[in-house]
């Protein structure tokens, strides 16, 4: 994950400088300060201009409070960590889906912990969106990204996964048991072969029909699978 673009909003210049120093000393590899603001109106303008991913937000300011700002901006596009001297607004803050609620003076450790929540949430979302095939080898369980699988081939009671970069993984499962865990990109072309459509280069209709993959591997196509495969390729 790249550095998170960040705006600091506080009507006390010293508080802004303190957060800037803590970020520079402890979080420069994770946060990128794109602007600072000293009030609600100022912050709203700078958020519109810079489109930050994170706002470090004070609550009580001269021209309103932090909640007024959140009512103005699109909260779905920005995460918020409150940095305030007021204990009384914590419950309300979390109703606004705040990542954290830090009391001043904010310690570097508290700030680091709050920022780490954002990265942890991002990792969870990425993991959820990953399409993987769990395969057991002799010494470990490996999660193989479906995007990397070019084809699968039966070898007795085993199956061989051919991946991008020339890597091969042998697993003690039949093609039939693996096929149920694949997505719609994968087609059975033959009793012994499953192919990822994304890696098909051509379909040769001669000699009964066979596929040519991007790495020039030729994969047989059974008579029974021929018409179904042609329809998939055309679509």
Residue ranges and CATH numbers for the domains of the chain are: 4-129 (3.40.50.2300), 132-234 (2.40.50.1020)
d(CA 211, CA 203): 5
Strands 210-213 and 218-220, by their bridges, are antiparallel
Contact 146, 131 (CB under 8 A): yes
Q: Which two tokens stand for residue 229?
A: 């495969």
d(CA 84, CA 110): 13
Per-residue pLDDT tens for 47-91? 999 999 999 999 999 999 999 999 999 877 899 999 999 899 999
Q: Which two tokens stand for residue 70?
A: 């959140």
Distances (CA, A) of 168 to 137, 141, 149: 11, 15, 9
**pLDDT(133) > 70:** yes
**pLDDT(138) > 70:** no
Per-residue pLDDT tens for 80-126? 999 999 899 999 998 898 999 999 999 999 999 999 988 877 766 66
CB neighbourhood size of 61 (10 A): 22
0.75 exceeded by pTM: no
Cβ contacts of 172 within 8 Å, gap of 6 or more: 136, 157, 158
């Amino acid at each position: 994950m790249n550095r998170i673009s960040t705006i600091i909003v506080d009507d006390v210049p010293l508080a802004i400088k303190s957060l800037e120093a803590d970020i520079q000393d402890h979080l420069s590899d994770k946060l990128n300060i794109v602007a600072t603001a000293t009030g609600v109106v100022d912050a709203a303008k700078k958020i519109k201009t810079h489109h930050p991913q994170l706002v470090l937000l004070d609550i009580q300011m001269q021209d309103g409070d932090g909640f007024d700002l959140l009512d103005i901006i699109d909260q779905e596009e920005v995460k918020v960590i409150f940095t305030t001297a007021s204990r009384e607004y914590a419950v309300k803050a979390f109703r606004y889906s705040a990542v954290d609620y830090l009391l001043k003076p904010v310690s570097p450790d508290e700030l680091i912990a709050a920022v780490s929540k954002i990265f942890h949430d991002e990792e969870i979302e990425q993991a959820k969106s990953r399409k993987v095939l769990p395969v057991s080898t002799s010494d470990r369980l490996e999660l193989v990204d479906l995007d990397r699988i070019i084809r699968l081939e039966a070898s007795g009671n085993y199956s061989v996964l051919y991946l991008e970069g020339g890597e091969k993984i042998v697993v003690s499962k039949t093609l039939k048991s693996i096929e149920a865990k694949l997505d719609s990109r994968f087609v059975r072309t033959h009793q012994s072969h499953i192919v990822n459509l994304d890696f098909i280069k051509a379909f040769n209709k001669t000699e009964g029909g066979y596929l040519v993959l991007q790495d020039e591997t030729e994969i047989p196509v059974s008579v029974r699978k021929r018409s179904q495969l042609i329809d998939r390729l055309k679509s």
